[in-house]
């Protein structure tokens, strides 16, 4: 059975690969949307890191920063160390007890176990990668998500 540790290691690896895919993309890609009123690709990418900061807050109370909106490939590359730090923090939490945490959210107190927060981080990332890939395909660009899957991670890293 796949472990949460393998899932988080895959998350960290695939996040680095995913953000790197945008380094040479034309700037207009970051404004592409699925439909009017929906978030553009750049905003979803920025949200990716913002949610990583949210999970860090949930796990340790760390406050987040104002992230620069991703509007160009060069900015997407600036996010690589940010994502690496956030993903490392998630991995560090594997060694802690699976305590029930009390989190101050926008709408009141949230109760969640550490493992639930870590699992949500993995699932949230996968959802947005798929969302971005669909938007890109709709506009004639292709992102090969198969190259970022767990099988590829395991074969390339020998995990």
**pLDDT tens over the chain, length 159 residues:** 889 999 999 999 999 999 999 999 999 999 999 999 999 999 999 999 999 999 999 999 888 788 999 999 999 999 999 999 999 999 999 999 999 999 998 899 999 999 999 999 999 999 999 999 999 999 999 999 999 999 999 999 987
Q: Is the pTM of this model over 0.85?
A: yes
**What's the CATH class of domain 4-153?**
mainly alpha
Q: Please tell me the distance from the alpha carbon of residue 86 to that of residue 12, in angstroms, as a whole number.
A: 9
> 130 CB contacts (<8 Å, ≥6 apart)?
145
Please answer whether residues 118 and 12 qualify as being in contact, where contact means their C-beta atoms are separated by less than 8 angstroms: no
């Amino acid at each position: 059975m796949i472990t949460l540790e393998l899932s988080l290691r895959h998350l960290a690896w695939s996040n680095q690969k995913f953000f790197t895919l945008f380094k040479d993309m034309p700037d207009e890609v970051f404004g592409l949307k699925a439909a009017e009123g929906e978030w553009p690709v750049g905003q979803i990418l920025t949200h990716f890191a913002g949610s990583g900061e949210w999970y860090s807050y949930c796990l340790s109370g760390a406050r987040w920063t104002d992230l620069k909106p991703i509007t160009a490939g060069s900015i997407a590359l600036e996010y690589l160390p940010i994502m690496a730090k956030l993903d490392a923090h998630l991995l560090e939490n594997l060694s802690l007890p699976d305590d029930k945490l009390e989190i101050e959210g926008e709408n009141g107190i949230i109760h969640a176990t550490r493992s639930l927060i870590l699992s949500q981080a993995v699932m949230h990332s996968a959802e947005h990668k798929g969302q971005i890939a669909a938007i890109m395909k709709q506009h004639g660009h292709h992102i090969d998500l198969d190259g970022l899957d767990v099988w590829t991670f395991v074969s390339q890293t020998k995990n």
